[in-house]
Structure 1
Amino acid sequence: MLSRYEFLDLFDGLAGLPYGGEAVDQRTHALQTAAHAVAAGADDELVLAAAFHDVGRARPVAERHRGLPHEQAGAAFARDHLTERSAWAIEQHVAAKRYLVAVDPAYHDTLSPVSVRSLRVQGGPMTPEEAAAFKAHPWSADAVSLRLWDDAAKDPEGPVLTVDELLATYERVLRG
């Protein structure tokens, strides 16, 4: 379990960290994604996945997991500090974008220019076989929801969850 200090330090370390050309920094993006999850009625595990989905870009996590894509580094972090379900959703949020582009042609038009560019690097749309395998996973809907909250969390004026609210969520999940 992360201590309160470690938790706050991790999120404070995201403040000012660029988010690939988007209009928000990594901290705002994380807290907005979590706010969208709460607004959608997500359970605590998914709220944490939403908040931590890009934690693989945080300096201490990226340094510990050098060479891994951010979603894999984030999933490794989540397996150590969150739940397996949260870790899986974090690991699959990039795949969920590829899935959505493959199964919903209109989805592509909702992506930001930065997200469209990263889609190319991430492998583009899934093949029909990849999409079927992704959809067959029991937590695929979690990853898709996370992806949609991620896409919506790029507004400098958008809602954010407070770090204290997020910390309370983290403590509830760890208490079981």
Structure 2
Amino acid sequence: MIYPAFHTLDDLFTQLATQGHSLYGGEAVSQLEHALQSALAAEQAGASDALITAALLHDVGHIVTGQRDDDITNGLDDHHEAVAVQVLGTLFDDEVLMPIALHVAAKRYLCATRRDYLTSLSNASRQSLVLQGGPMSASEVQRFACRPHANAAIALRHYDDIAKTPALPTPPLQHYQAIAANVLKALS
């Protein structure tokens, strides 16, 4: 399915603010809380503005597709990482888009390469892993590790994993809109 791209940062952030209040795929936080917590984790880690923005927007595909809280339980994979890249491509370059595109693959990679990673995932994240192809094979691990943005995607994955704490205080969405404005694609 083709989704319309965002053409302004204001349109994107309005959608986040108005549509991000549904629960985040079986977790105890909303889509918006998860986004803000992911961005906060990236910011606290000293990540670049591009990676902070990617952390904030990595799951925007769930919002665009209208993911419901029970979709994962019902076996539905909305391919949110691809949808996010599709709708964000007019606004951002690869420094933002590629970690988003690869964050699901990074989960599969980490499950294949780190023994304790799978057990550290939330129940909902383990359920979605099955829909997303499970842990990578050895050849997939080798190909992923060679990708130019693999390390950024792995970092994003870690921010994603810890961003599920109910009522965690975060800066407001406007704080991250200002950061995202720093990494907008140069429009000609």
Judge same fold: TM > 0.5, yes or no.
yes
In the TM superposition, what is the alpha-carbon distance from 1:102 to its structure 2 partner?
0.2
Q: Return the match for 2:20 from 12, 15, 18.
A: 15
Aligned partner letter, 1:86: V
Q: Does 1:156 align with 2:166?
A: yes
In the TM superposition, what is the alpha-carbon distance from 1:111 to its structure 2 partner?
0.2
In the TM superposition, what is the alpha-carbon distance from 1:159 to its structure 2 partner?
4.2
Q: Return the match for 1:51 from 53, 56, 62.
A: 56
Aligned partner letter, 1:49: A
Q: Does 1:2 align with 2:12?
A: no
Partner of 1:124: 134
Q: Does 1:62 align with 2:68?
A: no
| Greater CA drift, 119-128 or 153-162 | 153-162
Unaligned runs of 5+ in 1: none
With the length of structure 1 as denominator, give the TM-score of the two structures: 0.90
Partner of 2:90: 80
Q: Return the match for 1:28 from 28, 33, 44.
A: 33
Q: Any idea what SS the aligned residue of 1:105 has?
A: coil
Q: Which structure 2 residues correspond to residues 99-138 of structure 1 after superposition, within 5 A?
A: 99-138=109-148
Q: Any idea what SS the aligned residue of 2:184 has?
A: helix
Q: 1:164 to 1:149 in 2, by over 3 A?
A: same
Distance 2:115 2:99 in 1: 22
Cα RMSD after superposing both structures: 1.8
Please tell me whether the aligned partners of residues 108 and 136 of structure 2 are also in contact (alpha carbons under 8 angstroms).
yes
Q: Any idea what SS the aligned residue of 1:173 has?
A: coil
In the TM superposition, what is the alpha-carbon distance from 1:16 to its structure 2 partner?
2.0
In the TM superposition, what is the alpha-carbon distance from 1:160 to its structure 2 partner?
2.2
Q: 1:159 to 1:100 in 2, by over 3 A?
A: farther
In the TM superposition, what is the alpha-carbon distance from 1:3 to its structure 2 partner?
4.4
In the TM superposition, what is the alpha-carbon distance from 1:136 to its structure 2 partner?
0.6
Unaligned runs of 5+ in 2: 1-6, 67-76
How many residues align structurally? Answer: 170
With the length of structure 2 as denominator, give the TM-score of the two structures: 0.84
Aligned partner letter, 1:87: L
User: What percent identity do the matched residue pairs reach?
Assistant: 37
Runs of 4+, deviation exceeding 6 Å: none
